[in-house]
Structure 1
Amino acid sequence: MPDHIPAEALRRFMTGIYEAAGVPAADAALVAGLMTEADLIGADGHGVFRLAQYVRRMRAGGMNPRATPRIVEERPASALIDGDNGLGHLATTMAAHTAIAKARSQGVAWCGVRHGNHAGPASLYARMVMEAGMIGLYLAVGSANHLPPWGGLELLLSTNPIAVAVPAGEEPPIILDMATTVAAYGKVKVKAQRGEPMPEGWMIDKQGQPLTDPKRAGEGLLLPIGGYKGYGLALIFGLLAGTLNGAAMGRDVVDFNADDTTVTNTGQAILAIDLAAFGDPGEFRRRVDGLAREIRGSARLPGVDRIFLPGEQSAATRARRAAEGVPIPPPLRTQLDTLADELGAPRLGA
Structure 2
Amino acid sequence: MSETALKTQPARQAWPAAILIDFIARALETTGMRPADAAIVGELMIEADLNGADAHGIFRLPQYVQLIRDGAINPTAEISVKKTAAATALVDGGNGMGHLVVKRVADTAIELARESGIGWVGCHRSNHAGSGSVYAAMPVQAGMIGIYAAVANANHMAVWGGMEAALGTNPLAIGMPMGEDRQLMLDMATSMVSYGTVKKHAMQGQPLQEGWMVDLRTGGPLIDAAQSSHGLLLPIGGYKGSGLALMLGFLAGTLNGAAMGLDIVDFNAVTDTPTDTGQFVIAIDIERFVPRAQFESELRRHSKALKGTARMPGVDEIRLPGEQRNERRARRMKDGLQLAAPLVAKLNALADKLGIAPL
**What's the TM-score bracket when you normalise by the shorter of the two chains?**
over 0.9
Q: 28-37 vs 14-23, which deviates more?
A: 14-23
Show the counterpart of 1:89.
99
Q: 1:6, CA displacement in angstroms? A: 1.0
Contact 1:169–1:286 (CA under 8 A) maintained in structure 2 = yes
Equivalent position amino acid for 1:320 in 2:
R
CA distance in 2, matches of 1:129, 1:169: 14
Q: 1:74, CA displacement in angstroms? A: 2.3
Show the counterpart of 1:246.
257
Q: 195-204 vs 74-83, which deviates more?
A: 74-83
Show the counterpart of 2:317.
306
CA distance in 1, matches of 2:270, 2:342: 22
CA distance in 1, matches of 2:340, 2:239: 36
Instruction: For structure 2, list consecutive stretches of 5 or more residues without a partner in the other structure.
Output: 1-10
Show the counterpart of 2:207.
197
Q: 324-333 vs 224-233, which deviates more?
A: 324-333
CA distance in 2, matches of 1:326, 1:72: 38
1:68 equivalent to 2:78? Answer: yes
1:164 equivalent to 2:174? Answer: yes
Instruction: For structure 1, list consecutive stretches of 5 or more residues without a partner in the other structure.
Output: none
Q: 1:73, CA displacement in angstroms? A: 4.9
Q: 1:345, CA displacement in angstroms? A: 1.3
Which digits, 9 at most, give the CA deviation of each residue in 1:79-137, with x for residues without a partner?
00011111100110000000000001101110001010000000000000100000000
Superposition map of 1:258-273 within 5 A:
258-273=269-284
CA distance in 2, matches of 1:231, 1:314: 26
Superposition map of 1:128-277 within 5 A:
128-170=138-180, 172-206=182-216, 207-277=218-288
CA distance in 2, matches of 1:9, 1:200: 36
1:339 equivalent to 2:350? Answer: yes
Which digits, 9 at most, give the CA deviation of each residue in 1:4-32, with x for residues without a partner?
11111111111111112211011101000
Aligned with residue 126 of structure 2, among 87, 108, 116: 116
CA distance in 2, matches of 1:72, 1:258: 32
Q: 1:170, CA displacement in angstroms? A: 3.8
Aligned with residue 39 of structure 2, among 13, 26, 29: 29
SS of corresponding position for 1:199? coil
Equivalent position amino acid for 1:114 in 2:
H
CA distance in 1, matches of 2:254, 2:14: 41
Which digits, 9 at most, give the CA deviation of each residue in 1:223-275, with x for residues without a partner?
00000000000000000000000111011101101110011000001111001
Alignment length (residue pairs): 348
Q: 30-39 vs 313-322, which deviates more?
A: 313-322
CA distance in 2, matches of 1:27, 1:139: 23
1:289 equivalent to 2:300? Answer: yes
CA distance in 1, matches of 2:97, 2:303: 36
SS of corresponding position for 2:358? coil
Aligned with residue 327 of structure 2, among 307, 316, 324: 316
Q: 1:324, CA displacement in angstroms? A: 2.0
SS of corresponding position for 2:120? strand
Equivalent position amino acid for 1:220 in 2:
G
SS of corresponding position for 1:183? coil
SS of corresponding position for 2:121? strand
Show the counterpart of 1:325.
336
Which digits, 9 at most, give the CA deviation of each residue in 1:195-237, with x for residues without a partner?
0000001000114210011111111010000000000000000
Equivalent position amino acid for 1:30 in 2:
I
Q: 297-306 vs 85-94, which deviates more?
A: 297-306
Q: Please report the RMSD computed on the Cα atoms of aligned residues, expressed in angstroms.
A: 1.0
Show the counterpart of 1:6.
16
CA distance in 2, matches of 1:298, 1:108: 34
SS of corresponding position for 2:186? strand
Show the counterpart of 1:278.
289
CA distance in 2, matches of 1:171, 1:328: 27
SS of corresponding position for 1:168? strand
Contact 1:171–1:292 (CA under 8 A) maintained in structure 2 = no
